[in-house]
Amino acid sequence: MKNLLLLFIVALSFSVNAQTLQADSYDGITRSNKQRIFLDNFDDNRYFWIKDASPSTHRISDGFLYFSNEYDFIYTDGKPISYDGNKNFEIETRIKFVSGDVEAYNGLMWGQLVFGEKYFFEFSSLGYFRIVKEDGFDEVAIKDATQTDVINKTGDNDLVIRKFDNKYYFFINKVLVHTMDYPGMPGQYLGFKVSPNSMIRINFLRLWYIN
């Protein structure tokens, strides 16, 4: 009887461990398997999103960052965050489209902030998402615009980029929408892209190592 109980405990342990290593499932890696590297809940301006001079308007209110772009060109802003791209990691944010062109794309940016290689994981208020690589002035679609029912057109959308082993996994509202090979670390800025004459509201920005 004791041996059967021991075998059951071992099997249960293997089952739990296997579940925590399912990188292609949003819940397949739990909070207990993560180490937080960066967190901004936008309770204040400790990371200096609000600047005296800026080609866009940043406002922090009630725990949200309101990022509006009042110009006729796309604008990105981000913060340098030191982390090891050879490790497994996860970038997480929550964004709501507030106003602007419903066909335009807004979302998460990571990589180099100015002129260098950067990526965008972005969505439109019409229910499309795409993944784009930009290198200087050249833009390449990594994932073409794709319509999905998982996007909340009028509310918050959780975006997660999970790097695990040699793969990237992209989630919208806990649903896997794309997988691709990990191309290496393009740079260590995390931030946001806002389309011309548009506004988004951001609830948080988080970065984790996956243990």
Query: What HEC string does the chain produce?
Result: CHHHHHHHHHHHHHHHHHHHCCCCCHHHCCHHHEEEEEEECCCCCCCCCCCCCCCCEEEEECCEEEEEECCCCCEEEEEECCCCCCCCEEEEEEEEEEECCCCCCEEEEEECCCCCEEEEEEECCCCEEEEEEEECCEEEEEEEEEECCCCCCCCEEEEEEEEECCEEEEEECCEEEEEEECCCCCCCEEEEEECCCEEEEEEEEEEEEEC
Q: Which domain holds residue 145?
A: 31-210
In a domain, 105, yes or no: yes
In a domain, 184, yes or no: yes
Q: Residues 80-91: what's their mean pLDDT?
A: 94
In a domain, 24, yes or no: no
In a domain, 97, yes or no: yes
Confidence label for 3 from pLDDT (cuts 50, 70 and 90): low
In a domain, 182, yes or no: yes
In a domain, 21, yes or no: no
In a domain, 15, yes or no: no
CATH for 145 = 2.60.120.560
Q: Residues 58-82: what's their mean pLDDT?
A: 93
Confidence label for 177 from pLDDT (cuts 50, 70 and 90): very high
Domains held by the chain: number: 1
Model confidence, pTM: 0.88
Question: Tokens 């994932």 correspond to what residue?
Answer: 143
CB atoms within 10 A of CB 90: 22
In a domain, 8, yes or no: no
Structure tokens at 208: 């984790």
